[in-house]
Structure 1
Amino acid sequence: MTALKAKPADDRDVDLETARYLFETIAARTPDTQGVSRPAFSAVETDTLRFLEDFARDNGLEVWYDAGANANFALPGDRDAERFVVIGSHVDSVPYGGNFDGLAGVVAGLVCLLRAQRRGERFARPVHVLAMRGEESAWFGPCYIGSKALTGTLDAAELKALHKGDGRTLDNHMGDAGIAMEPVRGRQPLIDLSAIEAYLELHIEQGPLLIGKEIPAAVVSGIRGNFRHRRVRCIGEAGHSGAVPKAYRRDAVLAMADLLVRLDESWSTILNMGDDLVLTSGMVGTDPERHAMSKIPEEVSFSLDIRSQSPRTLDDMRRLLQAEMQQVEKDRKVRFELDEEMRVEPAMCDPELVEGLKAAMARVGQEPFVMPSGGGHDAAVFSAAGVPSAMVFVRNSNGSHNPQEAMELADFIAATDIVHEFLTRHE
């Protein structure tokens, strides 16, 4: 795609055309039987970055790859700036996912660069756009892999995580993507974090609030942290479904159900107290080779994803989980086994950046609106590493992590306007 030129009256149409071209072309290059699939640290993810590289070079932008094999873009002359603002997000997706989760943030950054280039403008601070690998947890279990590698916070247990398809380690897959793994294993930052003045991320909203409010975009106040277990095993004892009385049963499935009901009841109590919490068990199953309709299940495995904006609430839930498992073990004569815990701390967006984005939102003619983020994002990792961070949400129908994601391009441009205005006027 060659560089796009336009008269001022056509300026917005050019941005829409650019965004539509990028979204539609990448979707067509990464289809699955439903939606799109761009697995973390895969050839498909690499191809997506290479496509963005070619597009950016064709449009006169500077392009380079960092030590984490992420693609970076800047206006000519800004690559070597001593200090800069980063606009970042990820290009991977969940299996059978939507096209906008992650990718919208990368496209927004490119639209901002091309708009400034087209108008002959310079930003108040040099801007680098960062297209990252490996944010989604669906492929290996750990989340925010790319940003953790960049910030030197990816730990040994995460590197040992196994791919859901081929069973090879994350370490192996990252090496296959061309990343030198010794610094990653040594938890050394792969970029100079002190050079980043701010990290900004545009992302689709993954809930219904902006739809309900009938507004196209919002500034984000903070990001939920989480602790996760990809595989919890509940181990009981097999038996004949018709021959073992209730008092003698060690039913793993009913024990799991008992635990989840207890956690659900505590969830309601915590919400009634005014605290923030969400809890999900998205993967549940017995082994069909070992179990049958007429057999008491001896084992079931399930995942747990517990999130809150409050570190105290997460700590309380961790203790509650242990206490409830012990009680269910006693009551139902089973045993629970947890795999390695994965944890991300909650992150509050930088107050000065939030105020700056609110002011930019007003200057582009939108009523300022601030909301928390229910989902986790790479911005939380940069914030935890000491980089001032903030986010902008764009309205999106039908949630995320599914093929029905439905972001309107007009809403996307409205959210991008906020970011561009902030970059132009931020001092």
Structure 2
Amino acid sequence: MNWYRDISTAEKRTLWGCFAGWALDGVDTQLFSLVIPTLLVTWGIGKGQAGLIGGATLVAGALGGLLAGWLSDRYGRVRALQITVIWFSLFTFLSAFAQNFEQLLVLKALQGLGFGGEWTAGAVLLSETIRAQHRGKAMGIVQSAWGFGWAGAVLLYTVTFTWISPEWAWRVLFAIGAVPALLVLYVRRSIKEPPRAPVLRDPGQVRATASHIFDRSVIRTTIVGALIGVGAHGGYHAITTWLPTYLKTERHLSVLGTGAYLTVMITAFIAGCFVSAWLQDRIGRRRNVILFAVCCAATVNLYTFLPMGNTAMLILSFPLGLFAAGIPATLGALFNELYPQGIRGTGVGFCYNFGRIVSAGFPVLVGHMGNSMPLGSALGIDAGIAYGLVVVAALMLPETKGRKLAAAEPAGSAASTASNASAAPVARRV
């Protein structure tokens, strides 16, 4: 942890502010998956309706990420972070008072806007605050906060459902979701807005807009970054959606519903983020993404093609969770280093969240392929396609490790070559 002693107080405050935001975001989001069984019984809704709520939250989260990126470019990183934290806290709290399925569906979708936006706003803020040589480590550590939030949600669920009847316990859990709003007080007092590019002097220039991520100077970066987002999220969602079903229905394994399995997966996620955080500042963003993608594809195929029992599956869950976490732990630093300051939030929001939207097709593809072949084979092929896309796309990007973001070029400056994408223009003459 020598690097942590090297960074300034302002960097540390930003690091822990973003960490807390993402952890609390994880708590609020994971609570729904834990109370689904209670809602099925209490309200008598079907699994399809519960799935619709979860799906609506994820889609809204992707849209929120796109919107938050634009907000951070227009109104500032800190302000966008405050807005998103208040937003998801408010609608998580209001979900506690939902009286029927329709109301909860709307409220959870609105919560999703803040949930998706908080990652984008926080990632851009942290990337512009932490010095280049430690950016990967800081971004990876913040990504691990999701695992701590996941564990926190399980703990809150256990305590609440132990002391309160189920028909009221889930409402209490959602009401607790208002707590993250208090984080805004810390953000307002302790976190400073990163320096911005100089104000435009030429009246013939305009501020960058969302459409500028499709300018000729950065369109290749946007397309390739979006492909990485598609592959990374596609592989992850295919695994988390279908692997439990495959292991339970075709391998007839019983350990999936145990606390041991949940503990292994949460621990593996946190460990994967820390390993990725350390590696990406040593071997670079491209090599790190490629390494974890190849390892993910290999581990999934070991899962689906090797005969194993409960103990072997539990052991293999750790490397699978570790490798799956390593890719998103790299994306924050990578995507931020690909764009100039004026459109950085928009670019990061698009690459990450476009991938989340399109990745919904990968679980569907597994299900479709599973009609004509064993589910394990369909899952292995699908994961191979997703992570193969990550590898190919990563090979098309320049290495960005060590790129300085604070020295962003003024809007309207000349574009540089791919060797320094951070100097791409962020405004055009009209």
**Which TM-score band (shorter chain)?**
under 0.3
| TM-score normalized with structure 1 length | 0.26
Q: Which is higher, the Rg of structure 1 or of structure 2?
A: 1
User: Quick check: which one's strand share is greater?
Assistant: 1
Which structure has the highest helix share of the two? Answer: 2
Q: Give the structure-2-normalised TM-score.
A: 0.25
Per chain length, whose mean CA-contact separation is higher, i.e. which structure has more relative contact order (CA < 8 Å, sep 6+)? Answer: 2
